Amino acid sequence: MYARNDWRTRSRSEGLAQRNIGGSTDSRFGRGGPAPRSARNTGAINSRTNKRAPRGPEISITSDLQVTDGKLRGRLLQNSLSPRGTPTCRHLREQMFRVLAKRVRAGRFLDLCAGCGTIGIEAISRGAMLATFVECSSRMASHLRNNLKEAGVHENRGQVVEIEAVPYLNRCSRRGRVWDVVYLGRLDGEPGAQLIELLGRGRIIARGGVVVIEHSSDSALSETLGVLKKWRTIEKDGTSLSFYNRYL
């Protein structure tokens, strides 16, 4: 009796072992068992072959007029042929938004002397709640509006103001309007100095907010500008970006 029971036990165990060689019989996973964790993270499953489809090709960034990251990554923007319309190089933009990532996300962004909008559209692509573009050239403002439209950015998120920057800042200062991040494009001479002086008053900058000023690497900016204090500078090919915090 004991030998017969041992034989039955061994037969049952061997049968189970043979059935389990091919993997789990659970219908959720198929005969081959659950997919490895690494496979589950890539591509979509083909229901017939149980294989993952390859992902699409990575979008390459080859132009300074392309959005470098975020939801709009790779989008090519319209621009004027005028030298004034030269956008900030993509390498500087990438560095800047890596530094400001947490401040830009869900924040209010002001792009002064916006040109075709590369900086502010980058901010929207990376999660800014609102970007305001200030541009006095009607031709550049037209390109800017077209870029926002083609990118599918609603006017409630991307506001274009066709006006000189100085009167606009004065008006916003009186109305108490503030932004979390303010970007001032490269503007040499007296107009640039006047804008920097207005920004130094801090009236349009939220407490803890940041101002980024683009300028020639040959002309370093002061460590403090009114209520603003410099905490970082990055440089590429003769162009620098100086970062200031509002500390008062």
Question: How far is the C-alpha of 177 from the C-alpha of 196, rounded, in Å?
Answer: 18
What is the DSSP annotation of the chain?
Answer: -HHHHHHHHHHHHHHHHHHHTT----TTT-TT-SPPHHHHTSS-EETTTTEEPPPPPPPP--STTB--SSTTTTPBPP--SSGGGPPPPHHHHHHHHHHTHHHHTT-EEEEES-TT-HHHHHHHHTT-SEEEEE---HHHHHHHHHHHHHTT--TTTEEEE-S-HHHHHHHHHHHT--EEEEEE----HHHHHHHHHHHHT-TTEEEEEEEEEEEETTSPPPSEETTEEEEEEEEETTEEEEEEEE--
CB atoms within 10 A of CB 135: 27
Tokens, residue 169: 């800042």
pLDDT at 48: 53
Query: Which among 60, 42, 59 has a CA at the least distance from the CA of 51?
Result: 42
Which distant-in-sequence residues (6+ apart) come within 8 Å of 38 by Cβ? none
Tokens, residue 38: 């690494």
Architecture per CATH, domain 83-246, reads as 3-Layer(aba) Sandwich (3.40)
pLDDT at 170: 96
Query: Which among 120, 124, 150 has a CA at the least distance from the CA of 135?
Result: 120
pLDDT at 11: 45
CB atoms within 10 A of CB 66: 20
What are the structural domain ranges in the chain?
A: 2-52, 83-246
Query: Could you list the pLDDT tens digit for every one of the 248 residues in the chain?
Result: 444 444 444 444 444 444 444 444 444 434 444 444 444 344 444 445 555 545 446 889 999 999 999 999 999 999 988 777 789 999 999 999 999 999 999 999 999 999 999 999 999 999 999 999 999 999 999 999 999 999 999 999 999 999 999 999 999 999 999 999 999 999 878 889 999 999 999 999 998 899 999 999 999 899 999 999 999 999 999 999 999 999 88
